Amino acid sequence: DAKTTQPPSMDCAEGRAANLPCNHSTISGNEYVYWYRQIHSQGPQYIIHGLKNNETNEMASLIITEDRKSSTLILPHATLRDTAVYYCIVRVGDMRFGAGTRLTVKP
Amino acid sequence: GAVVSQHPSRVICKSGTSVKIECRSLDFQATTMFWYRQFPKQSLMLMATSNEGSKATYEQGVEKDKFLINHASLTLSTLTVTSAHPEDSSFYICSAKTIWDEQFFGPGTRLTVL
């Protein structure tokens, strides 16, 4: 599976958009980009995934660059409950986790 | 999304005993389930992949005789930590894959070995 690079931590003000970047420069053509998050002491929660096109659901938006070498997860209006570790994963088979980004939403 | 449950949510046991953790897909059938382990302040590490009716595939460095996995039905996989020791204390998380290739995770089981 391709590896991903994410910043170790980010802060965001409550009510503002949180933009979480992910680099996956070695992604192959059939690998999807997945985003999960893990709130302390819980199992990972699925957020969104995509292949080429931008995707949006009730939780977030996923922007994938045209060359697919990077993507951004956007939480449009972050709340305190969005404080978590966010994992960007590229996969075609097993789901393997990197270190993720610890997002802290501040009041 | 689909729901995956784990039981128990936390367990404390004495060194040398065996502990069984159950993982169930509640509203879908999962031909493949996965087991992960997470130590404090670290990411999830894949331990093994479990396919219904066949032997599990273990990741390098994971002892198959210590971590027994059984996937007897399309909705249930079990992980048994045999002869547990304090270094096996960890957060164990399972996940199940749907026929649409989506993967949903359980809430995790915190194992403490005294």
Q: Minimal Cα distance from B101: which residue of A? A: A93
Contact B107 A42 (CB under 8 A): yes
Q: Degrees (nearest 5) of the Cα angle B105, A85, B19?
A: 45
Mean of all residue pLDDT scores within chain A? 94
How many CB atoms sit inside 10 A of residue A60's CB?
A: 19
The answer for residues whose C-beta is within 8 angstroms of residue B10's C-beta and 6 or more apart is B109, B110, B111, B112
For chain B, state the CA radius of gyration: 13
Contact B43 A43 (CB under 8 A): no
Residues A97, A45: contact at Cβ < 8 Å?
Answer: no
Q: Give CA–CA dist B53/B58, Å, rounded.
A: 15
Tell me the pLDDT of chain B (114 aa) as tens digits: 689 999 999 999 999 999 999 999 999 999 899 999 999 999 999 999 998 888 899 999 999 999 999 988 899 999 999 999 999 999 999 999 988 888 999 999 999 999
The answer for residues whose C-beta is within 8 angstroms of residue A30's C-beta and 6 or more apart is A92
Q: Degrees (nearest 5) of the Cα angle B88, B106, B29?
A: 120
Q: Which residues of B are less than 8 Å from A99 in CB distance? A: 43
Contact A41 B102 (CB under 8 A): no
pLDDT in tens, A58-103: 999 999 999 999 999 999 999 999 999 999 999 877 889 999 999 9
Structural tokens at position A9: 């931590």
Whose tokens are 């169930």? That residue is B24
Q: Which residues of B are less than 8 Å from A5 in CB distance? A: none
Closest CB to B95 among A38, A41, A95: A95
